[in-house]
Structure 1
């Protein structure tokens, strides 16, 4: 059967001497794999279509399993995301997180729109760490673990200050937090941003500036949520950690 889909390349791997297998997150057909024959050859007309982060239209034949590319058109190459190390690191993290979270053929309409918006925001020069945290929140949404940030998940109190409890799935008031040794403290600024992240659509992200110390706090809070509820070891996240370490030395 012949398919025509809009998709984003979230993984690209060599196959044989001249081919590549790409994993697409598509607007209509979820996550799927497509063989791009001859993509490694210098004069291949499909080489650019097989590059990571490419957003395009893909026409492929598929019965079951792996598809085979027939034609395609690039809608946005996102070449800048492959040329700058920091942008490549964050884009790779978002792509790998998507690939590892979604199953083959699983519906990914929400994530498609959010990933598309996130990659565009990276290319536009918006804060890559903030973009990655917003995308992590959308991953938590899709996985069914969106944290409750409006009131205490234990007693429903709407009176702060709150602490974040990844295991409880949201915030705890000061009284309930006494019974959770792993509940994480939050400054007022970090709490307001976490609350904003939990409901913000990446397509509506404007200019945002966050203090470095608040960004470090946000990273710790989001890491707690992701480790408890997603719990996937990612090479791209390890690289991001290494990159952050050297930037502070």
Structure 2
């Protein structure tokens, strides 16, 4: 059966001599793998529509296993992202994260829109680290690891939340946090930002200015939290860390 859908290229893999297996995150079908036949040939008409991060309209032959890419049209190329090393690093991170977290053929229109907004914001020179963290936290509920950020996990108070327990998955007040040897000392501004990142739609984001020290704390918390609770280790995370060290 032939189906048309809007989608974003989130992964490509060489297959045989001239083909590629392309993973699309689509509005209609969620994550779906398709074979793009002959796209490595110099004159392939589909070669331009299966580059990483491209948003396009795709005509697919959909079956029980891998589908087949028939043709497509580019909606947005995100060429400026692919041409910039730092932007590519963050775009690679959010697309690999998407590939690893979401299941095959589960329709997730909200997450699709958030990914598109994330790539657009990265292309438009908004802080890619902040944008990537906001998108990442939108994925946590899909794998059951959304942190509790409204009160202290130990005593229930909503005041003086200045610690984060990676193991227990949420905030601690100052009194309880100092008793937990494995909690991370933050500050109330970072806790507030974690709530914003978790709940605020990316389409509402203009420019978020975050102090460098707070950005580093946010990165430290989310990296430790995601790896501890998801058990997922991303190749693009290592690349991103290397790129950030060059700044």
TM range (shorter): over 0.9
Moved more, 213-222 or 113-122: 213-222
Residue equivalent to 1:134: 134
Q: Is the 8 A contact 1:60 1:69 kept in 2?
A: yes
Give me the TM-score of the superposition, normalised by structure 2.
Answer: 0.95
SS of residue paired to 1:246: coil
Shift of residue 161, structure 1, vs aligned partner: 3.4
Any idea what SS the aligned residue of 1:39 has?
A: coil
Question: Within 2, Cα distance between the matches of 1:18 and 1:218?
Answer: 43
The answer on whether the counterparts of 1:20 and 1:36 sit within 8 Å (CA) in structure 2 is: yes
In the alignment, is the contact (CA less than 8 A) between 2:5 and 2:28 conserved in 1?
Answer: yes
Matches of 2:158 and 2:212, distance apart in 1? 28
**Using the alignment, how far apart are the partners of 1:128 and 1:167 within structure 2?**
27
State the partner residue of 1:48: 48
User: Gaps (5+ residues) in structure 2?
Assistant: none
Distance 1:103 1:160 in 2: 38
Moved over 3 A (4+): none
TM-aligned CA deviation for residue 111 of structure 1: 1.8
For the residues of structure 1 that align with 2:145 and 2:65, how far apart are their CA atoms?
30
Q: How far does residue 114 in structure 1 lie from its aligned partner after superposition? A: 0.9
When the two structures are superposed, what TM-score results if normalisation uses the length of structure 1? 0.94
Q: How many residues align?
A: 247
State the distance in 1 between where 2:195 and 2:64 align: 42
Distance across 1 between alignment mates of 2:175 and 2:112: 40
Q: CA deviation at 1:64?
A: 1.3
Is 2:114 the partner of 1:114? yes
Q: By how many angstroms is 1:166 displaced?
A: 2.0
Distance 2:232 2:102 in 1: 12
Distance 2:142 2:17 in 1: 37
Q: Distance in 1 between matches of 2:153 and 2:189?
A: 20
> Contact 1:136 / 1:226 at 8 angstroms: preserved in 2?
no
| Worse-superposed segment, 153-162 or 44-53 | 153-162
Q: Any gaps of 5 or more consecutive residues in structure 1?
A: none
User: 2:207 matched to 1:207?
Assistant: yes
> How far 1:2 sits from its partner (Å)?
1.3
**Farther-moved stretch of structure 1 (111-120 vs 224-233):** 224-233
Which digits, 9 at most, give the CA deviation of each residue in 1:13-50, with x for residues without a partner?
11122211100111121111011112112221111111
User: Per-residue CA shift, 1:127-153, capped at 9, x if unaligned?
Assistant: 000011101101112222211212112
1:189 pairs with 2:189:
yes
CA distance in 1, matches of 2:192, 2:104: 36
CA distance in 1, matches of 2:2, 2:123: 32
